[in-house]
Amino acid sequence: MAKLFHWRIDVAAELKRKDEELTSSFVGDGGVPLAADKIRVDLTTLLETGVRYLPADSRCDCFDPRRGCIGHDLERAEVAA
């Protein structure tokens, strides 16, 4: 059966980005801007606790922080669409 995989954010790859790229991608609660250093500390902490990927789609209900979305079975009609 065909599967749908949701997008994921690669934490290690994010850490290699420039400061201005990080601050435009990650914001705090309520849209509050975050300092690049704070984002780097938080991402590093995630990596150290085994989180390699973050979900990029809130609809994903089968997300594994070490592998990303593990896949959703698609009905035949969804595959044809």
Within positions 37 to 66, which residues make up the interface with Zn ion, using CB under 5 A? Answer: 60
Q: What secondary structure, in 3-state letters, does 11-68 show?
A: HHHHHCCCHHHHHHHCECHHHCECCHHHHHHHHHHHHHCCCCEEECCCCCCCEECCCE
Min CB(19)–Zn ion separation in Å: 30
Segment interacting with Zn ion (CB under 5 A) among 16-24, 31-39, 45-53, 69-77: 69-77
Rg (alpha carbons) of the chain, rounded to whole number: 15
What's the gap between Cα 70 and its chain centre? Answer: 13
Q: Using the rule CB under 5 A, is 68 a contact of Zn ion? A: no
Number of residues that bind Zn ion (CB under 5 A): 3
Which position among 3, 6, 49, 81 is part of the footprint of Zn ion (CB under 5 A)? Answer: 6
The distance of closest approach from Cβ of residue 70 to Zn ion in the complex, given in angstroms and rounded to an integer, is 7
